[in-house]
Amino acid sequence: MEKVMVSTDILTDEEISRLYQCVSCGKCLVECPVFKATGVTHTLPLPKSRLLRYIVDKSRGKISYFFGPQPIESYRLNQGVPTVYECTLCGACTEQCKFEVKPHTLWYKFRALMNMAGYIPEPLKHVKGGFTETKNPYSLPEDMRSYWVKKEKLIGKASVKRNARVIYFVGCTTAFKRVNRGIAGSMARILNYVGEDWSLLGEKEWCCGAPWLMIGDIERAREHAVHNVEAIEETGAEEVVVTCATCYRAIKQEYEELIDGKLRFKVLHAVELIKRYIDEGKINLAPTDIKLTYHDPCELSRLSGVIDEPRQILRMVSGEYREMEKNKENGFCCGGGGFLQATNNDVRLKVAQIRVNQAVKEGAQYLVSACPSCKMALVDGAKELKSDVKVVDIVELVAQLLGLSSK
Amino acid sequence: MRGALLETGEETRRTINNFLSRLLQEKMVDAILAPIETSTGLVTPGFVTNPEKTHIIDVLAPVIPGVAMATVVSQITHEKPVEKRLGVILKPCDIRALVELVKFQQVNLENIYLIGVDCYGTYPVIKYKEILEKGNLPVENVFEALNKGGETEFRDSCKVCLNPVPIYSDLCIGYIGIEKGKLFIEARTEKGEEFLRKLGFKLLELKERNRAVAEILRERETKREKYFGEAEKELNGMEGINSFFEDCIACHNCMEVCPICFCKECFFDSDRYSYVNQNYLEWNPLEGTVPMLQAKVQFHVGRAVHMASSCVHCGLCEQACPQDIALYKLFGLIARNIQRIFNYTPGRSVEEKPPVQEFKEEELKEFIG
């Protein structure tokens, strides 16, 4: 039987102790969106942690004590690839855990360990090549990063300046994906509308690095973090605004550890900035009667705690705001996280459909989100369901209500 | 059997840990596999090799933290026997599971010394955590319950457990039937006696302990009959079973934690088995004319049958159910009934062959004539 050595050096003692704190109570299994969508058990959180425990036991634990570090059967690792990667990293398991295991943080490290051993899904192997070269996970030429400026008819109105108070960090999924161009355009218009001193990073903007963490390459993620922090700090910006929940969490929670230093700027998600503009009276939103519901991006709500701001904005613009069955910290993933689109798009679409159906159940006309990945997944899910619910980003909605749309 | 009486006073845990330290100091074992305390106060199976570090061991913790010790021993030894000597602390049900796994060649006992511990009962993990959070020591609750007789907050399988004392081990750390402030370390094998003698203990016999155990068993027999009698009524017929599993989400966690369930690839996870109900319809020539099992029920009934003869009644399946289905009711019932038919007690001895490994001409007369 073929066996390979797998290093677990990447796991800290604290992480290992959390791994063994798990008591298999199974509460984490109940809310797993991938399980709800597929009913397949091998991608559940507990099979993940059992496989990880097995690997740790063999490399630096109970088994290696007797026999020295032991190689792992490669069939187990091959079976482990979907177990580890068919996951949206949404953190629903962490929300349910009563024993402080914080499972989803271990899944990131598990991916790093699998990536180092060379066990990652085929599609991600392809992604890695282009990603390394182009600095964006879509492998598109860097000069296309600002293509949306032209398409949104914002030439001269959304530019790269040497200095600015605010940097709009667009993020790859917003910049490169056609369906999300409107988010970037709307954000730019809002910033212009309130007369903000702002700038883009242009080609100096690299992917935030979060996708590298999802693939499991921490060193590459570090490269991106260092580059982006330098590029932002060169402009002397006080604040960085993002429209993407993934970029937000990466910059806010991962960057300081990755660059091993303090950030000299503040990170804001668009919803926080817009809420501030409203409070300062720079934006006035008139109420409408659109039936709205809000989809919490996992990385923004559950994993970063930005929960109230989008709701305050939405309640302001509509008296018909309704919560879905799963909301706030207990929100249901859109399916778009954790690189699931590349690993297994069928699963992603199934998860997305569950979420869209929850919105339909509330009779929503607009399903509002605050993340381009969520928007993409939910748009695809609605398409699969042939549902006429309109999926929009909160930034687009605000711009539309301010009469700022491009069309 | 003979053993040594230890004065503990209020320091039960420390006395046991000092004893374990001496096993390591005197090089009788190289490592001890025991429940060790985690940062949240719960326990997890772990190693101690340093005699000065035994304070993290919590032998009497009345909880099974999701993974049976037998499963851990199987993971370590199923490929090859260990060369260093390992002392393993096990609860009575853990030992029985271990013995069953030996029969199925999943555990190799070479160089392994079994140190059993009395277990009057364990709490569900969540309950255990609650007790800790209230600032109480769960084990003290157990001692109190033992004095009063009975504890309503134990797991169901513990309330009706007929093995509070290990039935197969080298040494046994006993507290049932021993006066307060003392512990009885019983030698069950020659190896065990040798250990105790080397440590300089005077060996004696304790008859009153056996009487106390018998008393508990009598009480539990009654409870057990009542428990399974009620279960039989509830689970009677397809309707009962279907409604029993109504909340099941088919996560298979009951299967994952079961110490007896050891297959490397589960039949229910194989391509051979798919959960689509339609498959049954397609396979069945009398399409739709017989009541169909729901797929998830099919899984449970299948698993119950696979486990029936070797089930050690640890009840981990029930504790692992995220939907709080009282699984032991079903699995325990089926196991008890099957084990009765074959007059088989899993974990009684390594030599006794499980019914699935042996055919006896005189068995199952009422079925095969």
Q: What residues of chain A lie within 8 A of the CB of B76, using their CB?
A: 62-63, 66
Do A40 and A10 reside in the same domain of the chain? yes
Instruction: Give the residue from chain B lying closest to A17, CA to CA.
Output: B38
Residue A406 located in a structural domain: no
SS3 A386: coil
pLDDT range class, residue B290, cuts 50, 70, 90: very low
What does pLDDT average to over chain A?
A: 95
The average pLDDT across A234-252 equals 97
pLDDT range class, residue B293, cuts 50, 70, 90: low
Which domain CATH number covers A75? 1.10.1060.10
CB atoms within 10 A of CB B348: 14
Chain B interface test: which of A1, A17, A25, A42 (most B C-beta within 10 Å) = A25
Contact B47 A65 (CB under 8 A): yes
Do A128 and A272 reside in the same domain of the chain? yes
Residue A159 located in a structural domain: yes
What number of C-beta contacts closer than 8 Å exist between A and B?
Answer: 88
Q: What residues of chain A lie within 8 A of the CB of B44, using their CB?
A: 20-21, 23
Per-residue model confidence (pLDDT) at position B133: 94
Per-residue model confidence (pLDDT) at position A146: 94
Chain B interface test: which of A60, A66, A76 (most B C-beta within 10 Å) = A66
Over chain B, what HEC string results? Answer: CEEEEEECCCCHHHHHHHHHHHHHHCCCCCEEEEEEECCCCCEEEEEECCHHHHHHECCCCCCCCCCCHHHHHHHHHCCCCCCCCEEEEECHHHHHHHHHHHHCCCCCCCCEEEEEECCCCCCCHHHHHHHHHCCCCHHHHHHHHHHHCCCCCCCHHHHCCCCCCCCCCCEEEECCCCCCCEEEEEECCHHHHHHHHHCCCCCEECHHHHHHHHHHHHHHHHHHHHHHHHHHHHCCHHHHHHHHCCCCCCCCHHHHHCCCCCCCCCHHHCCCCCCCHHHHHHHCCCCCCCCCCCHHHHHHHHHHHHHCCCCCCCCHHHHCCCCCCCHHHHHHHHHHHHHHHCCCCCCCCCCCCCHHHCCCCCCCHHHHC
Is the model's pTM score more than 0.90?
A: yes
Which residues contact residue A363 at a Cβ distance below 8 angstroms, ignoring those fewer than 6 apart?
A291, A322
Do A92 and A15 reside in the same domain of the chain? yes
Which amino acid would we find at residue A178?
R
Residue A157 near chain B (CB below 8 Å)? no
pLDDT range class, residue B264, cuts 50, 70, 90: confident
Residue A281 near chain B (CB below 8 Å)? no
pLDDT range class, residue A71, cuts 50, 70, 90: very high
Q: Which of A366, A364, A340 is nearest to A352 (CA)?
A: A340
Do A289 and A264 reside in the same domain of the chain? no
Rounded Cα distance between A382 and A359, Å, is: 10
Q: What residues of chain B lie within 8 A of the CB of A22, using their CB?
A: 66
**Which of A21, A28, A30 has its CB closest to that of B44?**
A21
Per-residue model confidence (pLDDT) at position B292: 54
Q: DSSP letter at A44?
A: S
Per-residue model confidence (pLDDT) at position B273: 64
Chain A interface test: which of B249, B323, B324 (most A C-beta within 10 Å) = B249
Q: What residues of chain B lie within 8 A of the CB of A44, using their CB?
A: 251
Contact B249 A42 (CB under 8 A): no
State which of A228, A256, A276 marks the end of a domain: A276
The average pLDDT across A230-257 equals 97
Instruction: Give the residue from chain A lying closest to B45, CA to CA.
Output: A20
State which of A100, A120, A140 marks the end of a domain: A120
SS3 A241: strand
Per-residue model confidence (pLDDT) at position A341: 95
> Which region, left, alpha or beta, applies to residue A114 given φ > 0 means left and ψ of -120 to 50 means alpha?
alpha
Q: What is the pLDDT of residues B128-173, one digit of tens each?
A: 999 999 999 999 999 999 988 777 899 999 999 999 999 889 999 9
Q: DSSP letter at A288?
A: B
Q: B304 vs B237, B247, B255, B299, B354, CA distance in Å? A: 15, 18, 10, 8, 16
Residue B277 near chain A (CB below 8 Å)? no
The average pLDDT across A5-29 equals 94
Q: DSSP letter at A1?
A: -
The average pLDDT across A30-42 equals 91
Do A325 and A182 reside in the same domain of the chain? no
Which amino acid would we find at residue B282?
E
Place of tokens 């197969």: B168
Instruction: Give the residue from chain A lying closest to B111, CA to CA.
Output: A66
Q: Which is more confident, B208 or B94?
A: B94
- DSSP secondary structure of A150-218: HHTT-TTTS---S--SEEEE--HHHHH-GGGHHHHHHHHHHHHHTT--EEE-GGG----SHHHHHHT-H
Q: What is the pLDDT of residues A185-238, one digit of tens each?
A: 999 999 999 999 999 999 999 999 999 999 999 999 999 999 999 999 999 999
Q: What is the pLDDT of residues A79-109, one digit of tens each?
A: 999 999 999 999 999 999 999 999 999 999 9
Residue A407 located in a structural domain: no
- Tally the domains of chain A: 3
The average pLDDT across A260-266 equals 96
**Which of B46, B83, B322 has its CB closest to that of A29?**
B322
Residue B340 tokens, joined? 């009765």
Which domain CATH number covers A300? 3.40.50.11810
Which amino acid would we find at residue B344?
Y
Q: What residues of chain B lie within 8 A of the CB of A35, using their CB?
A: 249, 251
Residue A388 near chain B (CB below 8 Å)? no
Judged against a pLDDT cut of 70, whether residue B276 lies above it is answered with: no
Do A233 and A169 reside in the same domain of the chain? yes
Q: What residues of chain A lie within 8 A of the CB of B68, using their CB?
A: none
Chain A nearest C-alpha distance from B85 (Å): 9
Residue A76 located in a structural domain: yes
Per-residue model confidence (pLDDT) at position B205: 86
- Where are the alpha helices (H) located in A269-344, listed in sequence order? 270-279, 308-317, 340-343
Residue B155 tokens, joined? 């797991």
Place of tokens 């640890």: B314
Do A237 and A338 reside in the same domain of the chain? no
Q: DSSP letter at A404?
A: -
Q: Which of B77, B147, B89 is nearest to B114 (CA)?
A: B89
pLDDT range class, residue A2, cuts 50, 70, 90: very high
Rounded Cα distance between A29 and B20, Å, is: 37
Do A103 and A43 reside in the same domain of the chain? yes
Residue A26 near chain B (CB below 8 Å)? yes
Task: Let me know how long chain A is.
Answer: 407
Contact B47 A62 (CB under 8 A): yes
Per-residue model confidence (pLDDT) at position B125: 94
Per-residue model confidence (pLDDT) at position B274: 57
Place of tokens 């006992």: B109
Chain A nearest C-alpha distance from B344 (Å): 30
Do A146 and A271 reside in the same domain of the chain? yes
Task: Give the strands of the sheet with B182-187, arranged side by side.
Answer: B43-48, B31-37, B86-90, B112-117, B171-174, B182-187, B2-7, B204-205
Do A40 and A111 reside in the same domain of the chain? yes
Residue % of chain B over a pLDDT of 90? 71
Lowest mean pLDDT among A127-131, B29-33, B37-41: B37-41
Task: Tell me which residues of chain A, numbers 76 to 135, contact chain B at a CB-CB cutoff of 8 Å.
Answer: 98-100
Per-residue model confidence (pLDDT) at position B180: 87
- DSSP secondary structure of A116-151: HHT---HHHHHHHHHHHHHSSTT---GGGTTHHHHH
In which domain, by residue range, is A35 found? Answer: 3-120
Q: What is the pLDDT of residues B327-337, one digit of tens each?
A: 999 999 999 99
State which of A231, A258, A276 marks the end of a domain: A276
Which domain CATH number covers A191? 3.40.50.1860
Q: What is the pLDDT of residues A376-403, one digit of tens each?
A: 999 999 999 999 999 999 999 999 999 9
Per-residue model confidence (pLDDT) at position B265: 78
Contact B320 A25 (CB under 8 A): yes
Task: Let me know how long chain B is.
Answer: 369
Q: What residues of chain B lie within 8 A of the CB of A20, using their CB?
A: 38, 44, 46
Residue B338 tokens, joined? 């099957």
The helix (run of H) or strand (run of E) holding residue A83 is helix A74-85
Residue B153 tokens, joined? 């907050």
Instruction: Give the residue from chain B lying closest to A79, CA to CA.
Output: B265
Do A138 and A229 reside in the same domain of the chain? yes
Do A80 and A150 reside in the same domain of the chain? no
The average pLDDT across B5-11 equals 91
Rg (CA), chain B: 22
